[in-house]
Chain A
């Protein structure tokens, strides 16, 4: 009778979950948007009397 054996030598492909590159990109995308809008409104305030 065939014995059920757990295959242990098979590799499971796992995505590297610790990569935060996408998060970093989106944080900077939002951050730069906030800075650009803030600076343009500040310039408008300084330029007007």
Chain B
């Protein structure tokens, strides 16, 4: 098959870009174990308040796990429980969240923690809080009349 020399150049360029981008995504998923925050772990939304770990929202120290703390949130129209939390700097934290009623968002502004909270499902994200400061959690899924008032705060302290 005859192919123009320049055509070969851009085909090689395009295909190698595709290969590199897909390799990065593949390494992230299969080697580093990154996955969507909601991975089919379920909970009954009507009894969320009585079930572990959602009966005690907040920061808990854990032992014998790959992370040091578990930060549990329950979202409902139009607030998060807890409303404010202090996390020590450098702590590896698993953020576990769910909702009692409708779909809510869970975005820690300025970080990679950005999850959708669906009733009946548990969303999780594990990360190391390595920057000190105050971080705002906002709802980024329209959930009703009080959507814009829905927020919480994380303080990363030394």
Contacts and interface: CB of A to CB of B under 8 A. Distances in A.
Interface of A: 18, 20-21, 23-24, 27-28, 31, 34-35, 38, 42, 45, 48-49
A48 B13 contact: no
Contacts of A23: 6, 10
A35 B17 contact: yes
B128 interface: yes
Q: From A23, A31, A48, name the one whose CB has the most chain B CB atoms within 10 angstroms.
A: A48
A49 B17 contact: no
Nearest to A42: B24
Interface in B70-106: none
B112 A27 contact: no
Interface of B: 4, 6-7, 9-10, 13-14, 17, 21, 24, 110-113, 127-131
Nearest to A44: B112
Contacts of A18: 4
A27 B128 contact: no
Given A28-B13, A31-B14, A31-B17, A45 B6 contact: no
B127 A28 contact: no
Contacts of A42: 24
19 contacts: A20-B6, A21-B6, A24-B6, A24-B10, A27-B13, A27-B14, A28-B10, A31-B10, A31-B13, A31-B17, A35-B17, A42-B24, A45-B112, A48-B110, A48-B111, A49-B111, A49-B113, A49-B127, A49-B131
